[in-house]
Amino acid sequence: MPTSPADLLVTNIRELVTCEPALGEGSLGVIKRAALAAARGRIVWVGEESGLEDHVTVPPFPVRINTLDARGAVALPGFVDSHTHLIFAGSREAEYAMRARGATYQQIAAAGGGIHSTVRATRAASLDELVDLALPRLRALLAHGTTTAEVKSGYGLTTADELKMLEAARRLGELQPVEIHANFCGAHEVPPEYKGRTDAYLDLVVDEMLPAVAENKLARYVDVFCEDGVFSVAQARRVLAAGARHGLRAKFHADEFVTLGGAELAAEVRALSADHLLKARPEGVARMKAAGVTAALLPGTAFFLGLPYAPARAFLGTGVRVALASDFNPGSSMGPNLQLVMTMAVSQMKMSPEEALLGVTLHGAHAMGLEEEIGSLRPGKRCDLLVADVPNWRYLSYYYGVNHVSRVLKGGQLVYER
């Protein structure tokens, strides 16, 4: 029997949740009493621990073999958070209190609060300050199991400030273990100096910002807040098409507060994902399914804003792939914890625990176009793995409000231990 050389063994795993049905039981491909082997940061073998010696060889000295004893805990793929706005300055706890007194997100935005208030603070912050403010947020993501995150710009809204945010994202990717992929969201809002001149602002986004972002290779994706009172479907189409000309994949805010046809646009432009979708038409989502677009649902936002959740079951009925993400941002979802997001998905959107777990792993990877690299524990993929101190994987969404993650491996390296 051919054996795989390994430099890392993870042993004594009560349940290994591979998220690959072909590798184990059920839709999550669960292997009981399991072990995993990796070499140079990539998985080389998974299976029952009893088969370890037959399938894996440990190369002779001088290669050092690392062993992680899971001590009877559950192991699963690192979480993939496919939608965050975690770079920002300032904070908006006052708005949060205003909403509790009845103000809506849109009313606060129209009065110059909302995104505008974060834009003012972010413009005033230096690159170093943005990095310093984001580092503890990334530590919180990692501690709760996120090993890869999408991070958006969109609080700068000038060429220099958008580039500053994206440069901060690049530095953050170098300074700490969470892998970061940037999404250029210059079309997040119309800045006050362009009030009433939305198309002129989009000229700036398309003719100046996008070429600079692409030239400096600062983003992988392009986003636009396609929303009533912000950018129309036609305007969003223009931004996404311009992004595509620069090689950026579309991944954008669609049908969050008003049914505009963002889901249909995502299908038309073959976006990687359309996100939020609180008000999307199931017919639009069916078109997304046909076009291979992932639906990224962000229940933390509905929770935090006190809005009805996206109709996840109707969407799942179309066969569309559903990802779940945090939307971590200071205005509409100030929380990094994807375990809690899974709980919301199950209790509020009636997703199954299996669907919820796939949403924050493999389907999150699809929403970022990284499904060949991360999101499941199959040989060939990167060894991004969580150890969770739970009796079985269902506890991840069932026992809520506590952090179950005790250890995190990124590319086979232990990067977090509680």
Rg (CA), the chain: 21
Q: Does 327 bind Fe ion (CB under 5 A)?
A: yes
Report the residue number, 95 or 264, with the smaller CB distance to ligand NIG: 95
**Distance (Å, whole) CA 151 – CA 134:** 11
Nearer to Fe ion, 327 or 384 (CB): 327
CA atoms within 13 A on the CB side of 186: 32
Give the span between the Cα atoms of 40 and 17, in whole angstroms: 21
Closer to Fe ion by Cβ: residue 223 or 384: 223
CB of 158 closer than 8 Å to CB of 166: no
- Residues of this chain that interact with ligand NIG (CB under 6 A) are 85, 114-115, 118, 225, 253, 256, 301, 327, 329-332
| Between 150 and 256, CB nearer to ligand NIG | 256
Beta bridge partners of 47: 35
| Structure token pair of residue 304 | 């935090």
* From 90-98, 278-286, 325-333, 405-413, span contacting Fe ion (CB under 5 A): 325-333
Query: Which two tokens mark 16?
Result: 């290994």
**What is the x/- site pattern for Fe ion, positions 17-56, by CB under 5 A?**
----------------------------------------
| Shortest Å, Cβ 349 to ligand NIG | 17
Binding partner selected for residue 256 from Fe ion, ligand NIG, none, CB under the kind-specific 5 to 8 Å limit? ligand NIG
By CB under 5 A, is residue 384 in contact with Fe ion? no
355's contact among ligand NIG, Fe ion, none, with CB below 5 to 8 A by partner kind, is none
Helix axes 115-124, 159-175, angle to 10 degrees: 80
What is the distance between the alpha carbons of residues 173 and 265, in angstroms, rounded to a whole number? 31
Q: Which two tokens stand for residue 121?
A: 């603070």
* Three-state SS at 147: strand
- With CB under 5 to 8 Å by kind, the binding choice for 297 among ligand NIG, Fe ion, none is none
- The one of Fe ion, ligand NIG, none whose footprint includes residue 331, by CB under 5 to 8 A per kind, is ligand NIG
Contact set with Fe ion (CB under 5 A): 327
